[in-house]
Structures are given as C-alpha cells and as structure tokens.
Structure 1
Amino acid sequence: MLYCTSKNLSSKTIKAYEQTVKLFLRYLYHEHNIDEIEEVKTSHIRNYVKYLQERGKYTDTIKIKNNKYINNPENRNDYGKQISETTINNYLRNIKVFFSFLQEERIIRVNPCNRIKYLKTKRKMKETISQEEFRTLLRGFDLTKYTGYRDYIITIILLDTGMRIGECLSLTTEDIDIKNKVILISKNVKGNKERYVYLSFKMASELRKWINYKDRYIESYLLFPTNRNTFLKVGNFEKNLKKVGNSVGISIHPHQLRNQFAKQYLLNGGDLYTLSRILGHSSVKITEQAYLDLTTEDIKKKYCRHSPLSKWNIIS
C-alpha cells in the first residue's frame, strides 16, 4: 500500500487493491493454510478463480470495525448472486499487480500469475438514452428550484462533454473557460491524468447562465455546490437523477449519458483516437472495446450516410 501511495494512485484504486489482496490472502490461509507468500503456486490462484465462480456475491467481504473483521453483507439485494466474469477479471488484475510488485521487489523469484489468463467475458451493450427519452427526462427537472436547476445543468453537461460524474462534480469555476469553450479536468481524475473536454455553443451559453445564477445565491469556488455550499456527492446526485427519471417513467444513471455521448460521437463521424482522449481512457484499445458495440440499426443509419452510391449521386 505504501508503494501504491508513492506512485500517487487514486484512493479508489488503492482501496480496490487492498480489498482484493486481503480477500485473496485470507482465502489462502483458510482454504490452504498458507501464510507465506513464497508458498503460493499457480494452482492456488486457479483454485481461487474456481472458488469465486462457485460462491455468491458478498459472501466473503471484508469490513473492519474496532480493529476486527466483520462480514455483514446480508442487507444487499444481490447478496449470494453469481459473481460476473468481469468482476473476477478485476480481482485477477489486482492480484497480478500484487505479484508483479513482489517480483520486482525480489520478494519472490517466480511469479505464479505468469500463466494465469483472464476469463472470457460476454459482451454487453452499453446502456444509453435516446433523444426522445432525454427530452422527456429534462422536462422532469424543477427549474424554479436551485437544486433542480443545478441537476439539470449537470445532466446536460454530462451528455455534451462525456465527463464522468465524479469529474463533473469536482469542477471549480476556475476550471471553466467559457470563451474558448473548454474545461480542464484535473481533480478526481481516473489515473490522475488531467485532460480537456469541450463545450458546444449551446452548452457554453447554458453554463454562463448557470454561473450567473449560482453567484447570485452562493459564493462558492465549486461549480455545482449544494445549497449549503458543500461538495455535492456522487451518490446524492445519482439519487436525485433517479428520482427525476422515475417521475417521468425513465430509468437513468449518469454513466448512460457518457455512453450516449461516445455513441453519438462515433455515429456522427468522430474517430476513436480523439474520442479516447476526450473520455480520458489510457489507450484507444479501451475505447474500442467499450464503445464499438453499435446496434444493427445504428450501423444501418451510419451506412446510409456514408454509402458511396448515395454520396456520389451517379444514378438518376
């Protein structure tokens, strides 16, 4: 953990590493009576994957209270359900990082993860929101109230820029350059890599109105503070958005807006490299894996716009 901190990894990443490694080490001790890392073999890791596949969700979670481990996940709706291949692969990825660290530090000579491969995962379509659904959603916000107007602006800026919700809520007024229609993302950034996202003319105009409105009521360096001038938490905004969506009969989550931005960017002729930069992905491959899952109807529409025969207009 000290090594992760020295690399300036985000607190979320460090927490994921620590949770994963603690669970794995506890498994080794209870199932194989192993408490020395040099004793870990490739077979132990393969058995751990099998163990994860067979047990249900949250049946072996770690929580700490008064310096004691406790396990009280029964209140979750998905308690006991099968763990997805994607989640298991995330565990494996963290375990691989752990053993690579051990090898680099010469704590172990042979890395037992070298021959461990990730599970094959089923491709899932990204959840998006249609134009009509989005129009209906916007009608659900009460723009006469501070919180309603604020959440309305957050919602449309997520769709316009493709930002992550955590990045959006961390913005300050100093991060915004409305004149040049650009936003600097430098706080709460995945991978700690700052980047720029861009505003449309309409969004720049709406954002200018919001800032003028906010400044009349609250003196805050935050772009989207609560009405008590505190930081708006991601969970609270998600609850607000869900409530608005339910009021108009739409199931909505902030990440659907990011997915829709990426989808429309590609359908409108945008390239993967630029999209990857805007989304803040570490590589174009990640963007390709995440967003090249257009539906048949999407592909048909894009084809019709780019068909050579239609473009050339050579048949009367």
Structure 2
Amino acid sequence: MLLEDVLMEYEYHCQARNFTLKTMKNKRQEYKQLLEFLQTKRGITELESVTSHDLKSYVRQKQIAGLKPQSIVSMSKQVKAFFQWCVVEEYITKNPMDKVTLPKLPKVLLTGLTTKEVIKMMESFNNKTYLEVRNKAIIAMMSDCGLRAFEIAGLKENDVRETDIKVFGKGNKERIVFISPALKKILIRYERIKKQYFKNRIQYNDNYFLAYQGKAMSTTAVWNLVVEAKERAGIKGKRVSPHMFRHYFAVQSVMAGIDIYSLSRLLGHSDISTTQRYLQSLEDSELSVKATSSSPLMNLNKGAN
C-alpha cells in the first residue's frame, strides 16, 4: 500500500474530526517531511516497509538538524498518531513508533500571574471606547473561565448565555464554562457598548468579540491585546500570554476548593496530567492555605455539627 496514499487518507480523516486549521497545517508539514525522508533517504514508498529503524533515523536527523527536544517530541506525536491510526484501520499490525526512544524533557514550572497583576491588566483598559471595553472583557473572561486564545476568538454571540458559555475547544470538543456575577457585570457593559458601537456600522458576522471593523478577531489579535495589557500594567521580567490566564484560572480554582477532575473538564484537557502540571507552580504560601483548609483536625468540628 503506497505510503503517500495512506497519508492522504489520514489527512481527510483528521479533517472529518474537525481539527483546527493550525493543527492541520502542522500535520501536513510534518507528514510531507516524513514522506520525503522515507522516499529519498530510505528508499521506502510502501507503508508496510516502514520499520522502527527508519523512524529512529528520522528522529536522529531532526536532532542533528538542531531541533529542540520539545519540538522533536511534538513532531514524534504527530508521526505516532498517524501510524496508530494505521493500526486501528488494520493496514499494519504494530506501530513502528512504539520502539522509538524520544529525548526526555526537563520539567519546567510555570511562573504564574498574581491576582494583583491580573487586576492591573484588566484596569489598564478604560470603559470609554468599544475596543477598551472589549479588551477588558476578554482579559476578564480568560482569567475567570480559563479559555484559550482561539476559543475566545471563535466565540459566537449565541455561545455566551445567561450564566454559562458554550466553548468549542481542541478537536472541536464542546464544553461548558460558567459566568460568575463579577464577570457578568463586565460582559453586560461590553454587550451594551458593542450594540451602541455597531448600531450604524456593518457587523460582518455573529462572533461575540469583534474587531473594530466588525469582523471576527484573529488569535493573533488576542495575543496582541494581552501583550498590550502587560505593557500598560508595567509587568516586567515575566512572560505573559493568553495561556498564562488559563494557568491563573487553574491555580485560583484549586485554591477555592475545586477538585482536579472538575477543573480538567472546565479547562478542556483530554489528559488530567496536563491539569496537574498547571498546579506544580503553586507557591508554598498557597499550599499552606490549602493544607490548613483541608486539615482533618481543623475540620473535626465541621463534621460534628
């Protein structure tokens, strides 16, 4: 069976699963490189001829080219996913990536945002113009709901309801997050200003957050407004990104007493280990508060009542 044909079939399989455009772009790029390597360097054109030795050589070539360990691991996941699909489809009997050893990644602890910093970034935008109110609402929603940048950009007006938000995450998986009264107050103001702003302007689509021209926001635009908020708030020596607001949401939720399984669902994580990594950066002072509030002896009287 021609490897090129199977890769094309797998691409359509991924499209049918509604993978994001970014994910599809990464997959196409990776599989194009893999196919070229196997054909030109190893003389392989048939799927059944691919062995773990060929794939080890492919990974080794990436390492020699200077690719960082994280990039090699990410690339290898794409390759392994393809061959695992081939196993499920019974095109091959074993996944040749199973015997490929990947570089170990150092554990990196995230340096999280503080509540003071989040408040500063929110308050760096005023309540006078549409863009200022919109940007404040986006910062508030990311910190209070833990949404990804592309999820914020892709929200539709009907997705933001009275007390909750319908979110379509990675792989177009649907989940529900909830609107606190504090966030609701900010969203009500945003919706009022948005309605006034677009009263005599063209609104090109039904996205919840719109660019000033009435078009949908891009993921890059969400990133840019976070960078602007950081600069306005005077935060230095710390990387601030939309992802850091997800981390902030996770830490604050745990501090408030949510269990990790519920938190994983709210974040849209397919693997609970990802959620656990978010929480490795809890400060000792925060752990102290958690330990005290969950102390068996401290809770004896509560149980007796």
Shorter-chain TM-score tier: 0.7 to 0.9
The one of 185, 192, 206 equivalent to 2:167 is: 185
What are the equivalent positions in structure 2 for 1:298-313 lying under 5 Å apart?
A: 298-312=286-300
Query: Aligned-pair distance for 1:193?
Result: 1.4
Query: Aligned-pair distance for 1:269?
Result: 1.1
* Equivalent residue, structure 1, for 2:31: 21
Find the aligned partners of 1:38 and 1:156 in 2 and give their Cα distance. Answer: 52
* Equivalent residue, structure 1, for 2:6: none
Tell me, yes or no, if the aligned pair for 1:127 and 1:259 is still in contact at 8 Å. no
Q: Deviations over 1:143-194 (max 9, x none)?
A: 322212211110011111111121122222211222xx111114xx212211
TM-score by length of structure 2 reads: 0.83
Tell me, yes or no, if the aligned pair for 1:173 and 1:223 is still in contact at 8 Å. yes
- 1:95 corresponds to 2:95: no
* Equivalent residue, structure 1, for 2:212: 227
Find the aligned partners of 1:114 and 1:233 in 2 and give their Cα distance. Answer: 37
Query: Aligned-pair distance for 1:30?
Result: 4.0
Find the aligned partners of 1:232 and 1:7 in 2 and give their Cα distance. Answer: 24
Find the aligned partners of 2:86 and 2:296 in 1 and give their Cα distance. Answer: 56
Equivalent residue letter for 1:228? Q
Find the aligned partners of 2:213 and 2:60 in 1 and give their Cα distance. Answer: 49
Q: Deviations over 1:101-139 (max 9, x none)?
A: 334444445532232354432221124210121222223
* Equivalent residue, structure 2, for 1:125: 109
Note the residue ranges of structure 1 that are not aligned, 5 or more in a row: 58-82
TM-score by length of structure 1 reads: 0.80
Query: Aligned-pair distance for 1:306?
Result: 2.8
Bigger mean CA deviation after superposition, 23-32 or 92-101: 23-32
Find the aligned partners of 2:81 and 2:229 in 1 and give their Cα distance. Answer: 41
What are the equivalent positions in structure 2 for 1:1-16 lying under 5 Å apart?
A: 1-16=11-26
Query: Aligned-pair distance for 1:50?
Result: 2.4
* Equivalent residue, structure 2, for 1:41: 51
How many residues are treated as equivalent by the alignment? 283
Equivalent residue letter for 1:195? R
Equivalent residue letter for 2:172? N
Tell me, yes or no, if the aligned pair for 2:153 and 2:222 is still in contact at 8 Å. no
- 1:279 corresponds to 2:246: no
The one of 157, 160, 182 equivalent to 1:202 is: 182
- 1:164 corresponds to 2:148: yes
Query: Aligned-pair distance for 1:310?
Result: 4.5
- 1:263 corresponds to 2:273: no
* Equivalent residue, structure 2, for 1:74: none
Equivalent residue letter for 1:197? V
* Equivalent residue, structure 2, for 1:243: 228
Q: Deviations over 1:22-60 (max 9, x none)?
A: 122222334334344333221121222222223224xxx
| Residues 1:36 and 1:231: Cα distance change in structure 2 (over 3 Å) | same
- 1:176 corresponds to 2:160: yes
Q: Deviations over 1:41-96 (max 9, x none)?
A: 21121222222223224xxxxxxxxxxxxxxxxxxxxxxxxx13x32222111111
Equivalent residue letter for 2:47? I
Equivalent residue letter for 2:72? I
Tell me, yes or no, if the aligned pair for 2:111 and 2:281 is still in contact at 8 Å. no
Tell me, yes or no, if the aligned pair for 2:123 and 2:136 is still in contact at 8 Å. no
Query: Aligned-pair distance for 1:237?
Result: 2.3
* Aligned-residue RMSD, C-alpha: 2.3
Query: Aligned-pair distance for 1:202?
Result: 1.0
Q: Secondary structure of 1:122's match?
A: coil
Bigger mean CA deviation after superposition, 226-235 or 280-289: 280-289
Tell me, yes or no, if the aligned pair for 1:185 and 1:197 is still in contact at 8 Å. yes
The one of 82, 96, 119 equivalent to 1:135 is: 119
Q: Deviations over 1:253-294 (max 9, x none)?
A: 111111100011112211011111111122434323443443
Find the aligned partners of 2:60 and 2:47 in 1 and give their Cα distance. Answer: 20
Find the aligned partners of 2:260 and 2:13 in 1 and give their Cα distance. Answer: 34
Identity of paired residues, percent? 27
Find the aligned partners of 2:251 and 2:33 in 1 and give their Cα distance. Answer: 37
| Residues 1:230 and 1:128: Cα distance change in structure 2 (over 3 Å) | same
Q: Deviations over 1:197-248 (max 9, x none)?
A: 0011111121112111110111543221111100011102211221231233
Equivalent residue letter for 1:21? Y
Equivalent residue letter for 1:49? V
- 1:253 corresponds to 2:209: no
